Amino acid sequence: MIEEYKQGRHEKGKSVIPEIEKYELVREKVEPWSIYVDGSFRGKDGQKYAGYGIYYGPQDSRNESVPLEGANNQRAELRAILHALEKIREDQDGGPYILRTDSNSSIESITVRSLTWEKNGWRTKKKMFVKNKDLIKPAAKLYKEIRSEYKKRGWKFQIEHVKSHTGEDGNEGADKLAILAAELAEKMALGE
């Protein structure tokens, strides 16, 4: 009957709902897509060259290699995570995603420490201003928003730690893109 309805051969006025109700709608478990991020830093002759990589998969057009001016490795890691969170937030119809990085300190800053820092006016226990607040604060906000949206959809969002340089394809891909970005930052600074 459903096929007849689709082809316009159903009896006029006869409902196809009873036929449809025979089928139980089961939401399949949706496996998350992995997005890997990494930062890279090169110091040479007192100059700082950094960049980050975002890796979705082999030959994926969304992979990015982004050079940064005057940044250190921690800022490159945080900027990579923030960039990926922005992309996840923009992709309302996509997902679910899981964000993977080899930077434990960035994960903890965004997912745990930011809660205390926010309550303390973005100051540490020693009353010092939080370093890299300009990246951590918006990343923590996006992280909360994405988790909330995913929860509504029955999904779970997390930023997961992966060990670096262990041969994991995604992490290696992000690392290569990050190194390329730092090299590009150096060439740009030197006018090449």
pLDDT per residue as tens digits for the range 158-167: 999 999 888 8
| 178 C-beta neighbours (distance < 10 Å), count | 28
Domains of the chain with CATH codes:
30-189 (3.30.420.10)
pLDDT of 25 strictly over 50? no
Q: H/E element holding 117?
A: helix 114-119
Q: What pTM did the predictor assign? A: 0.82
Pairing of strands 47-55, 64-69: antiparallel
pLDDT per residue as tens digits for the range 94-127: 889 999 999 999 999 999 999 999 999 999 999 9
Confidence of residue 140 (pLDDT cuts 50, 70, 90): very high
42-48 contact pairs (CB < 8 A, 24+): 42/182, 42/183, 42/185, 42/186, 44/186, 47/186, 47/189, 48/72
Q: Is the peptide bond before 96 cis (omega within 30 degrees of 0)?
A: yes
pLDDT of 40 strictly over 80? yes
pLDDT of 9 strictly over 80? no
Report pLDDT for 18: 44
Share of residues in the chain with pLDDT > 90 (%): 68
Report pLDDT for 30: 65
CA distance 45 to 166: 30
pLDDT per residue as tens digits for the range 57-75: 999 999 999 999 888 999 9
